A = this chain, B = another copy of it.
Amino acid sequence: MKLSVGLIGYGYWGPNLARNIQQNSDLALVAICDQNMKRLADATTAYPQVKAIAEPEVLLADPTIQAVVIAVPLRWHYSLAMRAIAAGKHVLIEKPMAETSTQAQELVAAARSTGVVLMVDHTFVLSGAVQRIRQLIDSNELGKPTYYDATRINLGRFQPDTNVVWDLGPHDLSILDYLFDHHDPIHVVATGHCHLNQGIADMAFVTLHYPDNRIAHLRLSWMSPVKIRQTLIAGDRKMAVWNDLEADEKLKIYDTGIHVNSDNAENWQLVLPEYRVGDVWSPRVDRTEPLALLMQHFAKTCRERIPSPLTGEAGVRNIRLLESISAVLQANLNAVQVREQPWVAS
C-alpha cells in the first residue's frame, strides 16, 4: 500500500520533488498545490492524473493524504508545517526548516505529541558521496576527522527573504552535523559581503571551531562566475576531496599524511614534519539522485519509524547554527559599515 503524498509548492524545487515522489514505488503523488496559477497549470501538464489545488487549506483538509512535502518560501514553513502536523500528516520540509530555532523546536514538539514523522530535506546527507565518507570515517580509513573545508559558490540564485548563509549553508551544516557526530562548534568566526542589496549577504566566509581540535570552513557565494562544489575532508590518516560536480570521480582519497620526525634537524632549520604522498584512490560512489534516496528514506521512516539523520532535531541544530553564524556575520558587517562611514560613529 503506497503512502499518499501531497506536494505544497511547485516553484524552483517543487518539480524535482514531484518527479521523485512520482518515481518512488512506495509513494503516490496525489495532489499538488500552488497559489500561482501558471505553476499549477505546469503541474497539471506534467501530471495530468494528480489533483491540482490552489489553496493549501484544501490539500491539508483532504483526509486521504497521509503525508505532505513542503517546498514554499521560508516564511511560510512554520505555519504550513504546523497545520499539516495538526492535521495528522507526516511532513517532509525543505531546508531551512523554519525562520527561527524557536519555531523549529515548536514543530519538533508538535510532531512528537501528534506522533507524525517530521523530516527536513538535508538531501546531501543521504548522497552516495557523504555516505561513503561516513563509512571511511567509521572504518578508520581516514582516521580521526580533523577538518572540513567546503567551497559552495555559484552565480545566484539571489533570494529576497534569505541570505547566502541560510540558502547554501544548511547543506554543509547538515553534513557536518552528520560527519562530526552532532557536535556543536565552540567558536564561530564569520563575515561576508552584500554586493547587491545592503541587507542581504550574498557572499560569506564562515569558520567553525569544534572541540577536539576540529575545524570547518565554509566559503559560500552567489557571486561567483563559476560553480564550485568542492570539499576537503581530512582525517589524521588520509585526506579526501569531494567534488560533487564530477560525474565519474566525485570522491578522491589521498594516501597523504604528515608526521613529525625529530631526527632531521640541521643548520638553519629546526624539527620539521615529513610528508607522505602516496596513491590516490577514487572509490565507486552510489550515483542515485539524492532526492530519490530521500523519498525512499521518507517512505521507510513513515512506515517503520527507523532512526534517521534527517529528523526535526537535526533541523533545529541546523537553524541554531545558522542563527549563531548570522549574528557574528552581522556584527562584522556593522563594524565594516562604521569604519567605512566614520561620520556615523561620531
Chain A residues at the B interface, C-beta cutoff of 8 Å: 11, 22-23, 35-36, 46, 48-49, 72-73, 76, 146-147, 149, 151, 153, 155-161, 186-187, 189-191, 193, 195-197, 203, 205, 207, 209, 211-213, 215, 217, 219, 221, 223-227, 232, 234, 239-241, 245, 247-249, 254, 256, 258, 260, 266-273, 275, 277-284, 332, 335-336, 339-340
- The 16 sampled A-B contact pairs (Cβ below 8 Å) are A23-B46, A146-B223, A147-B195, A155-B275, A186-B336, A186-B339, A187-B332, A187-B336, A189-B205, A196-B260, A197-B260, A205-B217, A217-B219, A249-B280, A279-B283, A279-B284
Instruction: Give CA–CA (A221, B147) in the complex, Å.
Output: 11
Instruction: Give CA–CA (A159, B272) in the complex, Å.
Output: 7
Number of identical protomers: 4
Q: Could you tell me if A225 and B196 are in contact, using CB atoms closer than 8 angstroms? A: no
Q: Could you tell me if B203 and A226 are in contact, using CB atoms closer than 8 angstroms? A: no
Q: Could you tell me if A191 and B219 are in contact, using CB atoms closer than 8 angstroms? A: no
Q: Could you tell me if B339 and A196 are in contact, using CB atoms closer than 8 angstroms? A: no
Given A160-B271, A205-B205, A268-B72, are A193 and B147 neighbors across the interface (CB < 8 Å)? yes
Minimal Cβ-Cβ distance residue in B for A211 = B340
Instruction: Give CA–CA (A247, B224) in the complex, Å.
Output: 16
Q: Could you tell me if B156 and A275 are in contact, using CB atoms closer than 8 angstroms? A: yes
Q: Could you tell me if B241 and A234 are in contact, using CB atoms closer than 8 angstroms? A: no
| A235 vs chain B, min Cβ distance (A) | 11
Instruction: Give CA–CA (A120, B315) in the complex, Å.
Output: 51
Q: Could you tell me if A284 and B278 are in contact, using CB atoms closer than 8 angstroms? A: yes
Q: Could you tell me if B282 and A282 are in contact, using CB atoms closer than 8 angstroms? A: yes
Q: Could you tell me if A241 and B270 are in contact, using CB atoms closer than 8 angstroms? A: no
| A197 vs chain B, min Cβ distance (A) | 8
| A287 vs chain B, min Cβ distance (A) | 10
Given contacts A149-B224, A156-B275, A211-B340, 15 further A-B contacts (CB under 8 A): A11-B268, A35-B268, A49-B49, A72-B268, A73-B268, A146-B195, A155-B277, A189-B205, A196-B258, A203-B215, A225-B232, A225-B241, A225-B256, A226-B241, A245-B247
